[in-house]
Structure 1
Amino acid sequence: MASTQGVGAANEDTVHVSPTGVVVLDGLSAPKDLPMGCIHGTPWFVRQLGTCLINLIGDNTVMLREALRTAISEVNDLHRDTCALDQEAVPASTVVMIRERENVLDYLVLSDNVLVLDLGEEGVQAIADKRVEEVAGEEMRAALQGPTGTPEHAARVSALVAVQRRLRNQPGGYWVAATNPVAADEAITGTVVLAQVQQAALLTDGASRLVDTFGILTWAQLLDVLRIEGPAALIARTREAELADPAGERWPRFKRSDDATAAYARTDQPVPVSSEFPRRKPRLADEGGS
C-alpha cells in the first residue's frame, strides 16, 4: 500500500489493513464557505472511521454494510459532545473495503473509490459508485473547463461543490460516509468466491486517474503496475502524468493533483505476466543519474 498527499494542506486519505481485510478511505475536503461543524477536521475523521471499520470487519458474522453503519455511529459518539454534527459542513469520506471470510471475498464501495478485481478467466472488473458524477451535470461540465489553478477555475469548482453538497446523502443524490448511518444502506456490496480472485486493488480517485481520467492504462495494466512495480510506483506514474499537464488542458480535472492511495492484495493464485505491461519510457534522469 502507498498514500501520498496532493495539492491540499493535508493528506485526507487513509488505508487500514488486517490479516483478513483492507479499508481505504478518501476524505472530502471541508468547504471554506461554511463554518465547520467538527473541530477535529477531515484527517481525524477518516482515521477514526478506518480504525473502527478494520476492527469491525474482523468479525465474520458482521456484514460490511452493518460494519459501516456501526462505524459511523461509533465515530459520532467520539465527538458528538464537542462538535455540531447536525451542521451541513461535517467531515465525510468515500469508502472501499474487502474482507476475506471463509472461502469468499466480501466487498463494499461507497462513492467514487474504485475496487479492481482480477477474476482470472472471468477477466478484470472495476467496481465504483459514480452517482456523484450523475448530479449537477451543468456545474460539473463548467468545473472541468481549464486551466486549473486559476481563480476562475476555482470559482467554478466551488460552485459545483455547493450544488453537490445540497445533494449529498439525499434520495436522488449521492451518498458518502459522514454522520448519517443510513448512508451504509446505499453502498454497493457483493461477494465473490475467493478461489476466483487472483488479485485486487483498492484505489482512491487520485490513484485511479491513469485509467478513468487520463486513459493511459487499462485496469488490467494498472494491476500489472501494482504487481510488478508496487503501489508507490503507480502513484509516481500518476504524478508524472499530472506534471506533464499541469493546467488540465489534455486531461480536464478539478485539481492538478489529488491525494492518492492504492492498496494491492494477491491471493495464492498464480498470476501470469501480461505481455501488455506498460513499461516506463526512459527519462534523462534515469541515465547515470542519482
Structure 2
Amino acid sequence: MSTYVDNRHPSTEVDKYREGVKIETAEQGAPGRVTEDRIRVLPNAVLVLDGVTSRTRPPDRNGGWYASKLADELARLLNDTDPLTDLLAQAITNLVAEHDLVPGDSPSATASMVRWNADTIDALVLCDTPVVAFGQSTRVLEDTRLEDLRPDPDILRWKNEPGGYWVAEADPVAGRQALTATWRRDETRSVIALTDGVSCGVSEYGLFAWEDLEQLPLGEVLDRIREAERGDSEHRRWPRYKTHDDQAIARISFSA
C-alpha cells in the first residue's frame, strides 16, 4: 500500500498569500528505508529538498538530517524581497556555523524553492530537483549540471567546483550557483516542485509528460513510478544505481 500523503490547503484561509491558492503534496520513501526528501509549506512559499544518501554517514548526520536543517533554516529566513539565491547562501552559512560543517566532508541536499506574491512567482533550483510552471506554455526550470557529468566515473571530484555541479552542503557559494526564474502570476495556472524520484517518471522513464503532472492525482503519479520500477528490478530498461528513490512532489495551483 502506498504511504503517500496528500495535504490540501484550501483557499479559504485568511492569509493574503493563500487566497486563491491550493497546495497539494505527496511523498513516500523508497521501500524499506526512511525518506530523506523534505517538503515545507509556508504562507507564500514551498520548499522541496532531497537529502543526498550516503552509506558512510551516521543516521544522525545523513542527507535527511541536513535536508531537514536546511529546510528549517530557509523557512526561518524567508522573506518577500531578498533574492532566493541569497537566502539559500545565508542558510548554508548559518548551518556551517551552527554545526561545524566542513566543505567536501559534510552531508548535502538538493533544493528547490517557489515563492509568490500577488504579481509574481519566483523559483530556484539547485541540482536535480526541478520546478515546472504551467500556463499558456510549460516552463521547466531544471539544473542538469550533475546529469551532464554522469559519464565521469569520478563525478564527486566535480562537486561544488567551477565547471562542475553544485549542491547545498558546507559552501555558501553553492547557493549563488542555483538557477532561478520569475514568472507572472496572472500567466501561471500552477507550479510543481519535485525531487528526482518523481521527475524520473518524465525525464527518464517516459511515463508522463510534464503537463500530466499538472492534472493527475499526485499519489497516482508516485504509484505509477513505483510500479514501473518494480517491473525493471534488474535495471535493464532504465539503467540506474538503485531500483527505487525517495519521492516528493508539491503542486501549487493559483487558479483555485
TM-score bracket, shorter-length normalisation:
0.7 to 0.9
Q: Are 2:48 and 1:61 aligned? A: no
SS at match of 2:245: coil
SS at match of 2:186: helix
Once residues 258 and 72 of structure 1 are traced to their aligned partners in structure 2, the CA distance between those partners, rounded to angstroms, is 25
Cα deviations across residues 226-265 of structure 1 (Å, max 9, x unaligned)? xxx2x22211111111111111112222210001101111
Once residues 105 and 58 of structure 2 are traced to their aligned partners in structure 1, the CA distance between those partners, rounded to angstroms, is 6
Cα deviations across residues 155-192 of structure 1 (Å, max 9, x unaligned)? xxxxxxxx222110000110000010010111101111
Per the alignment, residue 173 of structure 1 pairs with 164
Higher helix share: 1
**Does the CA-based 8 Å contact 2:190-2:255 persist in structure 1?**
no
For residues 8 and 134 of structure 1, do their structure 2 counterparts lie closer, same or farther at Cα, with a shift above 3 Å needed?
farther
* Number of residue pairs matched by the alignment: 232
Q: Are 2:227 and 1:203 aligned? A: no
Cα deviations across residues 28-75 of structure 1 (Å, max 9, x unaligned)? 11253xxx5996222111111001112322x11221011101111122
Per the alignment, residue 69 of structure 2 pairs with 48
Q: Are 2:99 and 1:75 aligned? A: no
**Does the CA-based 8 Å contact 1:38-1:90 persist in structure 2?**
no
Deviation, structure 1 residue 86: 2.4
Q: Are 2:234 and 1:247 aligned? A: yes
Amino acid at match of 2:142: A
Per the alignment, residue 117 of structure 2 pairs with 101
Amino acid at match of 1:65: T
TM-score by length of 1: 0.75
TM-score by length of 2: 0.85
Per the alignment, residue 90 of structure 1 pairs with 106
Unaligned runs of at least 5 residues, structure 2: 1-24
Once residues 55 and 158 of structure 2 are traced to their aligned partners in structure 1, the CA distance between those partners, rounded to angstroms, is 14
Once residues 103 and 181 of structure 2 are traced to their aligned partners in structure 1, the CA distance between those partners, rounded to angstroms, is 32
Once residues 253 and 182 of structure 2 are traced to their aligned partners in structure 1, the CA distance between those partners, rounded to angstroms, is 17
Choose the corresponding residue for 1:2, options 23, 26, 34: 26
Equivalent residues in 2 for 1:13-162, closer than 5 Å: 13-32=37-56, 36=57, 40-57=61-78, 59-80=79-100, 85-86=101-102, 88-119=104-135, 121=136, 123-139=137-153
**Does the CA-based 8 Å contact 2:51-2:65 persist in structure 1?**
no
Amino acid at match of 1:94: T
In terms of Rg, which structure is larger? Answer: 1
Choose the corresponding residue for 2:208, options 174, 198, 217: 217
Root-mean-square deviation (Å)? 1.8
Amino acid at match of 1:257: H
For residues 44 and 138 of structure 1, do their structure 2 counterparts lie closer, same or farther at Cα, with a shift above 3 Å needed?
closer
Q: Are 2:175 and 1:184 aligned? A: yes
Amino acid at match of 1:74: N
Choose the corresponding residue for 1:233, options 216, 220, 232: 220
**Does the CA-based 8 Å contact 1:135-1:173 persist in structure 2?**
yes
Once residues 77 and 98 of structure 1 are traced to their aligned partners in structure 2, the CA distance between those partners, rounded to angstroms, is 26
Runs of 4+ in structure 1 off by over 4 angstroms are: 36-39
